[in-house]
Amino acid sequence: MSNVLLIDFGSTYTKITAVDVEREVVIGTANGITTVETDIMEGLNQALSELFAVTGKMEFTKVLGCSSAAGGLKMVAIGLVLELTAEAAKRAALGAGAKIMGVYGNELSEYEIEEIKALKPEIILLAGGTDGGNKEVIVHNAKMLATLGIDVPIIVAGNKSVAPQVVKILSAVMTEVVHTENVMPRLNELNIEPARETIRSVFLRRIVEAKGLNKANKFVNRMVMPTPAAVLKAAELLGKGTEYEPGLGDLMVIDIGGATTDVYSIAKGDPNRANVALKGLPEPFGKRTVEGDLGMRYSATSLFKAAGAKMIADFAGVTESDVEAYMKKVEENIEYLPQSEMETKVEIAMGRACTRLATERHVGQLVTVFTLMGDAFVQTGKDLTAVKIVIGTGGVIVYHKEPESILKGTTYSASTPEMLKPQSPEFWIDEKYIMASMGLLGEEYPEVAIRMMKKYIVRR
């Protein structure tokens, strides 16, 4: 018996995907409304009824779950220098699928402690100092966090020379303090995998219970990770492959939602030409960024502010006042769908703006430095110009008739030559909306997940 059920407990919908791992096919999918306040099983049972109505009752050999329910995994990242260990801590949290509520650097003040308390983080990631480097600041911050007044799991991922001291200070008041490897053990050396793993295990141990997701425990074999981590995992599998199944190579994934746009890149991003100096903190091979102001409904106003009426109007070929009117309408009525040709054009243009801005914030940049010996080039971030595959996922793209028009925003443009965006990518669409499920499936059946993604994610 080879049926596996994959569950995504989303913030609004509980999405289920039934898969036959022997035949490597999706048997069926269904949605229920997420019922985290009452009993999570209600929404899940609703989805199961819908599924069984089509497939007939099924038994599953395995049930795996991921979650972004109840607002997702909320985290605060703290480091020393904002561009260095604070940034490294932020990347570790993003890679773990968290929602970043705040990033702090240097010595925390009482005001900042009040701020952090008000943010109600579910996990705090505390970093600062390279190994053997600065000691004072992380110790100071531990003492400050000890005055937080709420019991929050804290992961210590800073200067290892003072880790025992830091853990001791925090353990006196917090019930869960976990030490892991430094997110930046030597200057400009990113080491976020251990912190990512630790975040995931704390999530499973503590947060799953706190969000009521453990009520599904009798049914779900394993709650595996926060949902965005599942998408990243799927992307990593599909790009890298395993020793038994080749991957597709470097790729990017764009996920546009009502509130945020997430961008994932699976690539080393080394410079594509000679004489380029790489500067700044290196970026993770599997990189995730989240833009909380770029979305199609809840964030329509902030999207309007970020993109400007002109960009959207130009993409759509309509007037700026039409754009403004439509975007106001959809923010007020998030269920609204375009009714006319004009509205459809604006909708596509909004998607393209989300894609363009989110991609530009994700990719690396190349600047020319004029030196006495000729031009030199400095690159920060990843060079993604050679990426050949851009995958679109998320409701906005998957249910759209013309997703390629939206994904055009990812492509390199001569008007912004410093942005290292893919030059001539193919667009592949996650038509069956299975990426998160495949990330889950990949935990136990990695080669099956890769082959299924190759089959179901379709090149346009």
Q: How many residues bind other proteins (CB under 8 A)?
A: 23
Interface residue with other proteins, options 184, 235, 303, 357 (CB under 8 A): 184
* Residues 234/430, Cβ–Cβ less than 8 Å: no
Interface residue with other proteins, options 37, 243, 244, 372 (CB under 8 A): 372
Q: Which range in 5-13, 26-34, 372-380, 428-436 contacts other proteins by CB under 8 A?
A: 372-380
Q: Which range in 8-16, 130-138, 192-200, 451-459 contacts other proteins by CB under 8 A?
A: 130-138
Nearer to other proteins, 244 or 370 (CB): 370
Of residues 278-307, those binding other proteins (CB under 8 A): 279
CA triplet 224, 230, 232: central angle to 5 degrees? Answer: 140
Nearer to other proteins, 139 or 256 (CB): 139
Q: Which of 447, 427, 452 lies closest to 437, judged by CA?
A: 452
d(CA 231, CA 220): 19
Of residues 7-66, those binding other proteins (CB under 8 A): none
Query: Nearest distance from residue 133's CB to other proteins, in Å?
Result: 4
Judged on CB neighbours under 10 Å (0-12, 13-18, 19+), 165 is middle
Q: Which range in 131-139, 236-244, 310-318, 396-404 contacts other proteins by CB under 8 A?
A: 131-139
Query: Which two structure tokens, joined as six digits, stand for 10?
Result: 């989303």
- Verify binding: residue 371, other proteins, rule CB under 8 A: yes
Of residues 65-124, those binding other proteins (CB under 8 A): 80-81, 83-85
CA separation, residue 297 to residues 294, 345, 348, 351, 353 (Å)? 9, 16, 13, 11, 13
- Verify binding: residue 135, other proteins, rule CB under 8 A: yes
Nearer to other proteins, 22 or 136 (CB): 136
- Verify binding: residue 130, other proteins, rule CB under 8 A: yes
- Verify binding: residue 271, other proteins, rule CB under 8 A: no
Q: What is the residue-wise DSSP string for 200-219?
A: HHHIIIIIHHHTTGGGGTTT
Three-state secondary-structure class, residue 297: coil
Nearer to other proteins, 186 or 305 (CB): 186
Mention every residue, 6+ apart, whose C-beta is less than 8 A from residue 374: none
Identify the sign of the CA torsion 18, 22, 23, 24. positive
| Interaction site with other proteins (CB under 8 A) | 80-81, 83-85, 129-130, 132-135, 161, 184, 187, 277, 279, 369-373, 376, 378
